[in-house]
Every structure is written in structure tokens, then in C-alpha cells.
Amino acid sequence: MGYKITVIPGDGIGPEIVREAVKVLDAAGEKYGFRLDYTEVLMGGASIDVHGVPLTDEVIAQAKASDAVLMGSIGGDAATSPWYQLEPSKRPEAGLLKIRKELNLFANLRPAYLYSELKAACPLRSDIIGGGFDMMIMRELTGGLYFGERCTTEENGVRKAKDTLTYDENEIRRIAKRGFDIARKRRKKVTSVDKANVLDSSRLWRAVVEDVAKDYPDVELEHMLVDNCAMQLVRDPKQFDVILTENMFGDILSDEASMVTGSIGMLSSASLNETKFGLYEPSHGSAPDIAGKDLANPIATILSAAMMLRFSLDLDKAADAIEAAVKQVLTEGYRTGDIYSEGCKKVGTVEMGSLIAERV
Amino acid sequence: MGYKITVIPGDGIGPEIVREAVKVLDAAGEKYGFRLDYTEVLMGGASIDVHGVPLTDEVIAQAKASDAVLMGSIGGDAATSPWYQLEPSKRPEAGLLKIRKELNLFANLRPAYLYSELKAACPLRSDIIGGGFDMMIMRELTGGLYFGERCTTEENGVRKAKDTLTYDENEIRRIAKRGFDIARKRRKKVTSVDKANVLDSSRLWRAVVEDVAKDYPDVELEHMLVDNCAMQLVRDPKQFDVILTENMFGDILSDEASMVTGSIGMLSSASLNETKFGLYEPSHGSAPDIAGKDLANPIATILSAAMMLRFSLDLDKAADAIEAAVKQVLTEGYRTGDIYSEGCKKVGTVEMGSLIAERV
Ligand SMILES: CC(C)[C@H](C(=O)O)[C@@H](O)C(=O)O
Ligand SMILES: CC(C)[C@H](C(=O)O)[C@@H](O)C(=O)O
């Protein structure tokens, strides 16, 4: 069986990590009898360089016509790259926001878990991490402050800027359902994070989440204020199963959570719409400083590719095999520089990809 | 010399920790020859119980007529307290937001540092904390999402909620100046945190902060995105000196930072306006579960009282003496339950207050 995959190598380390993910996908295809047809397109800085804009309509059309999108990473060094001389709406990241909106990718899943093999890399004390932790962040991705109206005006010589945070109940309901669905397949606990002691949008969020929870009597729901959640992720990350939250809070908390695992180079993400379609990318950035040096860790992208097989193509066995292969190379002691610790075998981007592909 | 202090014991552990702070202030007054005249008033849940509202006009007038406000903590257990049956604008926390706005307390200073005596309580690995860390969070407190227009509407049966985030350049300039002023007395580095890749308000923030920085050529300025900052606080808190940020980001990051120190029961805060006037309160909450049990740690409030002497009353020597006394009791091994570790001497709220007062 064949599937159409749009591939966005992107910027920085994007192309080299995507290459390894494709290598691993092909190995899985051979073993499990499916074929992926890749169409490579430009986005972000790479697209600005060629087309003058970070995302063209052709790329959106191409993505829409495919079964899933696999992406590397977008953006460059804001301090030195000419892309950041452009006005904000023309910079690489604007392409990312646009594709999320155009493809209606409202559900952003970011797993944050501690690999037992990588406990030494976790910044937390060993008595806090204990047997490890494993949480899933479900971040709303097409609403809130990211997509509200904004403007900068000047009145009597005083500049003033305004952003708006809006949510309607349908937007909240659909992401909440996704959160509860995922929790049902996990440890059956949803922590909904908001700032309901201040924001109207958070109070609506809380009310709708409570409403949705009624259809999931088997799943425990707790509400947590965002400031408290930022504390609890450090104090005791084990308490979380699924964290369900709006766009901006999700941006902050998922980055914090991924750092708490100590291995952001290992963490995947999926951005889904109402259908099976999704965009898959590593949680980390484009790391322009190490681009092209065979230093980048391709595992986050490889695991994102596994999520793609699972969520968009229903190829669960192949996804399992990739995840198991990743686990195995770690157990065998192979490490890229970012997760290296003494006594392990240091390998580059390409070798890591090959090692995983061989073990699929 | 005499000063007028408005005292707000507040809710939960508030009254008992404020009592110890007053004990310590009086000891300092005796030694350094100043007199504080306290007027106790109600706010938060305590005010709701008596007046039906969390903050009366009389209390605002009383606070305005004084040199400074010393506060315990506000609020209760949202799950069980009848205060949270009220509509949001009538709950205890609404009093807190209102007093900040009415007294124009735009500059919120929250120190987050690691006491060398309490390193064992820090949730981070010992190689990350190294020789310790010491940062100051300068949070804007009267603007942004907290005080923007908000509404919840219904259109065709679909509820929709909206909050707005606005800043004008004057609001940004005054808090930025405070940030640079404080940095100048410290390690001369300001990390301004925003989300300039998405928000108009953040782009204005960044532009104005850069403008203000021109008057402080001796202070280093760096910009950091809020998601990255949430990561860096865990990865390497030592890199920060002063973090300068807007209201909501400051709420989240200061709580995260305080937890990273491992001793939130030790962290003070000051909220200042354009004059010397300020409101001083611990960074932690009202902990209703341990209220009235002589278990609360009064040190955060005692250190807030020291900040009051320093910032509002220019009594630097007395402030130094209180801080030194706190340090001394820690060195002598006295600990309340929250910071207790083996081999130390466990004491209650009252004894901790007395030990510090005796050493001033
Ligand atoms: C690049 C940026 C716009 C983006 C976001 O804030 O969503 C990134 O931080 C992310 O989390 O994917
Ligand atoms: C109680 C709440 C409204 C308040 C805030 O969000 O500012 C608190 O979290 C704080 O940080 O002082």
C-alpha cells in the first residue's frame, strides 16, 4: 500500500535529521510492506530564500493533497540571519503558524518522558524522578493569543500594542475530547491547565472541559492554574498523565516539560486536525549552530515519523518497531553528543539513523 | 522616627506569619531606633466574611495614607471554600488584583535564590546548581492580560470568551527602567523575556526595552523567548541575573523559578509604584491546609518585611540585620517543616519568628 507524504526538511539541522527519519521509514516500509511516496517542499527560511515568503500556496495545496507531513525544523539564528530583518509576518516562523492554521492542526501532542537509559541527563534530583515519568501534553494549536486580532497603534505620540486571546466553546470542546481520548489509552488522568482566577477565556475553558469530562467517567479530571503547573513540573513531574491546555500556556509548559526530561533531542510531536491527517516534527528547534556537522540527534524526528505511522497511516506495528529500535540503540549504548554520558558510544547523525534503521 | 504601616494578615496562614514578621520588625525598631505604627485591615476572604467584598474602599484609603503595606496571604481552598461560589470578581484574589491596580503597584520584584544552607531542598541536580544561583524577577504587575478588557458572549448558541493583552510604551518603559536600575546594583545583566515571534505587545516590549537599555551602557541586555526561558530556568538557572517580563509571563516564570530554588517558603516579594510606597508579601500562597497549626514558615514574610524597610523606609541597616538574622538561624540549623532535612532542629512558626527576632 502507498501513502503520500509531504516532506519539509526546513532550516538548520532540519534536512539532515529528516533524511535519517526517511531512512528509518523506508526500512520499516520494507519490513512491513508499505510504500511512502515523498514530495519534498520548502518552508521557513529555505522558502524565503527561494520564493521570498516562508510558505507558498503551492506547499499548502501539496500538504493538503497528502496523507501526512513530515517536517524537520524551521528558523535560524534571530541575531545573525537576514530572515529576521524581515517584518514578523514574513519570517520563517510565520510559515509555521500559517500552516498550522491552514491545515486546521488544532491538536498538538507533545510527549515528555524520561528514558530510563538517559536518567543521568535529567536535570532533576534522582529521588524526584524515581522510577521515571511519562506525560503527554495536549496543546491547543490554532486559537488563543497566537491567532487573535492584534495591532500596534500610536495615540498622541504614545505607541500601544494589543493582542487578543479568544476561544469559543467548539474550539475548546474538540481539543478537550482529544485530551480525554488520549488519557483513556494511558493512565486515565487529565490535568486541565488554565488561569481561571484571572481570564474569561480560562473560565470558559474550565466550564467546557468539565462538560466534556462527563462523557469520560473513567478518566479523572483535575484543574490546575498555569503558575502552579509551572512549579509542579519541577517539583513532581510524576503526578502528570495528560496535560490539556491552551496555545500559549502549552507553548511554555511543553518546553519546560521537555527540558525537565533532560533529552529534548528525543522528543517528538504531532499536530492533528479533525481527520487522520497530521504534521509531525521534533519538539526541538533548528539548532543552526550545529547544522551540517553530523552532530544533530535525529531521534526526535525518527520518533515523530513513528507517530505519523501510528496516527495518520494506522501502521501501528511499524510504529512500534521504530520505537523499539530507538530503545534498543539506547540500550546498546549509542548516543549523539547531546545525550552522551561517560561509557557510552558517541555517534553522529547519520550513524544514529543507520543504527536505528538496521534494528527496525 | 515613626512610620505608618498597613497590615493585611489575610487568609490561611497569613495572620500567623504576619505576626512573626511584626515581632521581628519591632525587634529591629528597638535596636535601630525607629517606630512602626501598624493598622490592621481586612482583605481577601477575611474581608468577604465581614463586608461581602474582598477589598473595601476604606482599606484602599488606609493603604494610600500609609508608608507601606505588609501582607500575609490571600485566598483559600477553591474546591471547598464558599468564597469560590461567588462570581470571579468577588473572590479573594480579586482583592489582590484590585489593590495592585488602585495603588499603581506596577513593579513586582521577586528574588529567587538558592540558600547554601538549603541546597539539599533544591530539586535540581547538584552539578547544575553548583555554587548556587541568585536571580531577581522583575514582573510588570498592572498591565497585560490581567487588566485588559474581557468578555464572554454567546452567538447563535455558541459561547465565546475574549481577553486582551495591551501595553503602551510608557508602561513598558517604567518597568524596564526599574529592571535596569536593579541590575545595575547586582551583576549587571538583564534578560528581557517576551514572545516577540508571535505577539505585537512583545515586539513593542522588545523595542522599548532596547531603547531604555541605551541609558544603561554598563548593563548587558539579552532577549529571550518565554518558552525558551521556561526551559533555561531548569537547565541552567545560574545564567540569570535580572529577568524582566510582562505580567502573565512573570506570573508563570516567577513561580517556576521559586520552585527551582526548592524553598518557596523563604522567598519574599515587593510590589512598588512610582514613589517609595510598596506592598510586601511572601511569594507563596495561603496554604489553608496548615493554617493555625504553627507549621507555616514565616521567613518569606519576615524577608518581605526586610524589603519593606529597605525600599519604602530607607532603613537599610535594619533590613541588613533582619536578613543576617535569618541567615544565622539557618546556619544554626533551625528549620520549619517545609525546609527540614535530617540533622536539623525542627521548630514551629512562633519559635522561628522568636529565634530571628532575638538575633536581629
Ligand atoms: C516558533 C514558534 C512560533 C512556535 C510556537 O510558539 O508555537 C514554537 O515555539 C513551537 O512551540 O512550536
Ligand atoms: C492570585 C493570583 C491572581 C496572583 C497572580 O496571578 O498574579 C498570584 O498567582 C500571584 O502571582 O501573585
Pocket test of ligand 1: the residue of B197, B225, B232 to mutate, having most ligand atoms within 8 Å of its CB, is B197
pLDDT score of B291: 96
Residue given cell 544514529 in the structure block: A352
pLDDT over 70, % of chain A: 100
Q: Whose CA is nearest to atom 11 of ligand 1?
A: A251
Take residue A53 and report the three cell numbers written for it.
515568503
Residue A231: closest C-alpha in chain B: B256
Pocket test of ligand 1: the residue of A8, A43, A73, A93 to mutate, having most ligand atoms within 8 Å of its CB, is A93
Q: Which of A145, A169, A235 sits opposite B158 (nearest CB)?
A: A169
CA distances from B177 to A318, B201, B224 (A): 57, 18, 18
CB atoms within 10 A of CB A80: 9
Q: Where are the alpha helices (DSSP H) in chain A?
A: 14-32, 45-51, 57-64, 92-102, 126-129, 169-184, 200-213, 226-235, 247-261, 299-311, 316-331, 349-359
How many Å apart are CA A40 and CA A279, to the nearest integer?
14
How many Å apart are CA B25 and CA B32, to the nearest integer?
10
Take residue A89 and report the three cell numbers written for it.
509576518
Index of the ligand 1 atom closest to the CA of residue B197: 3
Q: Whose CA is nearest to atom 2 of ligand 2?
A: B93
How many Å apart are CA A207 and CA B209, to the nearest integer?
38
* Burial (Cβ within 10 Å: 0-12, 13-18, ≥19) of residue A235: middle
Residues of chain A with pLDDT under 50: none
pLDDT score of A258: 94
How many Å apart are CA A69 and CA A4, to the nearest integer?
9
DSSP-based three-state secondary structure for A264: helix
DSSP-based three-state secondary structure for B103: coil
CA of B141 vs chain A CAs: smallest distance (Å)? 13
A97 and B198 within 8 Å at the Cβ level: the answer is yes
Q: Residues B252, A226: contact at Cβ < 8 Å?
A: yes
Index of the ligand 2 atom closest to the CA of residue B74: 1
Pocket test of ligand 1: the residue of A97, A138, A246 to mutate, having most ligand atoms within 8 Å of its CB, is A97
How many Å apart are CA A22 and CA A343, to the nearest integer?
29
| Ligand closest to CA B198 | 1
Residues of chain B with pLDDT under 70: none
Q: Residues B21, B301: contact at Cβ < 8 Å?
A: yes
How many Å apart are CA B211 and CA B177, to the nearest integer?
10
CATH code of the domain made up of B1-106+273-360: 3.40.718.10
Whether B255 is a known active-site residue: answer yes
Whether B195 is a known active-site residue: answer yes
Q: Whose CA is nearest to atom 1 of ligand 1?
A: A93
Residue A204: closest C-alpha in chain B: B161
Residue A88: closest C-alpha in chain B: B197
Residue A119: closest C-alpha in chain B: B125
* 3-state SS record for A229-240: HHHHHHHCHHHC
Nearest to B272 by CA among B127, B136, B159, B123: B136
* Burial (Cβ within 10 Å: 0-12, 13-18, ≥19) of residue A149: exposed
pLDDT score of A124: 96
Nearest to A145 by CA among A85, A77, A222, A199: A199
CB atoms within 10 A of CB B217: 7
Domain locations in chain A? 1-113+262-360
Q: Whose CA is nearest to atom 7 of ligand 2?
A: B251
pLDDT score of A79: 84
Calculated CA dihedral for residues B182, B183, B187, B188, nearest 10 degrees: -150
Class for the domain spanning A1-113+262-360:
alpha beta
Q: Per residue in B179-235, pLDDT tens? A: 999 999 999 999 999 999 999 999 999 999 999 999 999 999 999 999 999 999 999
Nearest to B104 by CA among B350, B289, B234, B278: B278
Which residues are CB-neighbours of B207 under 8 A, at least 6 positions away? none
Q: Residues B271, B278: contact at Cβ < 8 Å?
A: yes
Nearest to A25 by CA among A13, A36, A12: A36
Nearest to A8 by CA among A86, A83, A92: A92
Compute, in angstroms, the gap from residue B197 CA to the centroid of ligand 1: 8
Take residue A218 and report the three cell numbers written for it.
473513567
B169 and A160 within 8 Å at the Cβ level: the answer is yes
CA of B142 vs chain A CAs: smallest distance (Å)? 13
CATH topology of domain B123-261: Isopropylmalate Dehydrogenase (3.40.718)
Residue given cell 501534553 in the structure block: A137
pLDDT score of B79: 84
CB atoms within 10 A of CB B5: 23
The string over A255-265, giving b where at least 16 C-beta atoms fall within 10 Å of a residue's C-beta and e elsewhere, is bbbbbbbbbbb
Q: Residues A269, A113: contact at Cβ < 8 Å?
A: no
Q: Whose CA is nearest to atom 10 of ligand 2?
A: B251
- Which residue, among B86, B125, B221, B269, would best test binding to A if mutated, counting the most A CBs under 10 Å from its CB? B125
Index of the ligand 1 atom closest to the CA of residue A269: 12
How many Å apart are CA A339 and CA A265, to the nearest integer?
8
Which positions of A are catalytic? 146, 195, 227, 251, 255
Compute, in angstroms, the gap from residue B18 CA to the centroid of ligand 1: 43
* C-alpha A309: how far from chain center: 15
Which residues are CB-neighbours of A87 under 8 A, at least 6 positions away? none
Q: Residues B4, B37: contact at Cβ < 8 Å?
A: yes
